[in-house]
Amino acid sequence: MSAIVLSLAVLITKAWTHVFTLGLAGDFGKARREQVASDLWEQAHDATAGRAVAFSVLSRLVRGMPADIAWRVFVAPRLHRQRLTVNLEEGRAMSVQPGLPFGVGASGIGWAATLAFLITPVSHSLAYAGAGLALIALIGWLLEARDTGDDAKPSAWPPVLAASIAAIALGVPFDGGQLGLALSIPATLAFSSIALRTLASRPQGSIAVSSVSPEVLQRHALAGDAIVLERTADHRVSRRTVLQGSAWLGIGAVLAATGGVIVDFLWQRNVQGFGGIVAAGNISKYPPGSKTKITAGKFWLVHLTPEQGGPGFLALWQKCPHLGCTVPWEPNFSFKDAVTNETKRGWFRCPCHQSTYDDVGVRVFGPAPRSMDRMALTIAPDGEIEVDTGTIEKGAVDNAASAVTMPQT
């Protein structure tokens, strides 16, 4: 058991070391991974190490994480900022631009996302676009360690990251397809401009390549080409900048979270089901004389024949006006109508106290105080039925007068 826990701790530590040395120029990452692997091995095989080795390993990992992150963010980018140029021949040069594939890739993803949002408006697309941007910005920031371009300006990625996190916060309460476009188009333009700027930062007239192998360098050196390796100006991030930045970021995050919660509470949800508009489908689904229970809306959709008081459609609330039992349609129940003295089969009949209603929901028998209640029903020109289950009118003997027919065009 403890062996398994130890292997897990070792695995986690190695994985973290991999992550925070990812994409660093030169052999730095490899060297650090080997050092940590050696350290882990020595501790695991140290007879004097005591029992809780796995705990010690995890503790050493966690306590060192802030140093790793700080180093990666503030130190690594300027350690490896250098520009490699190979002067091929008179007036021509080869410039190594490791950031270029990333910039081009991010632009490609951005344009693809923009296209996707244009074709199919995805719900919460602003949040998705923000999440994608945040990921790209994070990778871009980490990969800047490999950037060899001449860039003395502050990094553009942290603001992109902050903006995309804000977009996620905004995108969750705002449910809309077009909002993603509002983010993805400017972001994609920004990515493209970063890629183009990387490309433009190379010495004039030189060919841009993303990487160059030692073999190629050797071949050029042997052919008499000059190889220039120059460190570019490093931009230091002062402690004051970091503190001010994080203070503003913190204030912004608190405000954004507060605002997001308020907006989220005030935002009207798309009301569906009982209490809102319930779509019942096309009139062609319901033959004349049919009575269909629409469970989502808690009503009976009745298609009346002329003999039943139609033609037209009625939405009768399934709740008995007497004590609220659910009224079923009893097609085989036979009953004599006291008004017409005719006996016929098929009635709405409440199982609780035998209140009985005819095809249009008019009460003919029982303790119910009135006829079955109606819901507002509309039929669109294309025959689609919508019932507003939030608008209920009290039932009356003239229920049939409220029957809705297909609008004449």
Partner 1 sequence: MRRKAGSIVPFERAVIEAGVELHASGTPEFHGYLLARHIKDATSARNLTAYGTLYKALDRLQNAGLLESRWENPEAAASDNRPRRRLYRVTANGHAVLAQQMPAVVPAPRLRLNEEPVS
The three-state secondary structure class of 149 is coil
The distance of closest approach from Cβ of residue 51 to partner 1 in the complex, given in angstroms and rounded to an integer, is 14
Least distance from partner 1 to the Cβ atom of residue 219, Å:
29
Q: Write the interaction track for partner 1 spanning residues 26-65; mark x where CB under 8 A is met and - where it is not.
A: -----xx-xxxxxx-xxx-xx-xx------x--xxxxxxx
Count of residues of this chain found to bind partner 1 when the rule CB under 8 A is applied: 30
Query: Residue 162 Cβ, how far from partner 1 at the closest point, in Å?
Result: 25
CA-closest candidate to residue 386, choices 318, 313, 292, 311: 313
Cα→Cα distances 231→80, 88, 127, 203, Å: 8, 20, 39, 14
Residue 16 CB, shortest distance to partner 1, in Å, is 9
Smallest gap from residue 77 Cβ to partner 1 (A): 15
211 in contact with partner 1 (CB under 8 A):
no
Q: Closest distance between partner 1 and the C-beta of residue 75, in Å? A: 8
Distance CA 166, CA 173 (A): 12
- To partner 1, the closest distance from the beta carbon of 236 in angstroms equals 8
| 13 in contact with partner 1 (CB under 8 A) | yes
Order of strands across the sheet that contains 312-317: 277-282, 384-393, 374-379, 312-317, 299-304, 291-294
Binding pattern to partner 1, positions 109-148, x when CB under 8 A?
----------------------------------------
Residue nearer to partner 1 on the CB measure, 16 or 333? 16
240 binds partner 1 (CB under 8 A): no
Euclidean distance between the first and final Cα of the chain, in Å? 78
Strand, coil or helix: 289: coil
Helix (H, G, I), strand (E, B) or coil at 313: strand
Rounded Cα distance, 70 and 81, in Å = 17
56/87 with CB nearer partner 1: 56
Find the part of the chain contacting partner 1 (CB under 8 A) among 67-75, 256-264, 347-355, 370-378: 67-75
Nearer CB in complex with partner 1: 74/267: 74
Applying the rule CB under 8 A, the residues between 68 and 107 that interact with partner 1 are 68, 71
Residues in a beta bridge with 254: none
| 137: amino acid identity, one letter | A
- Give the interface with partner 1 as residue ranges (CB under 8 A): 13, 17, 31-32, 34-39, 41-43, 45-46, 48-49, 56, 59-68, 71, 239
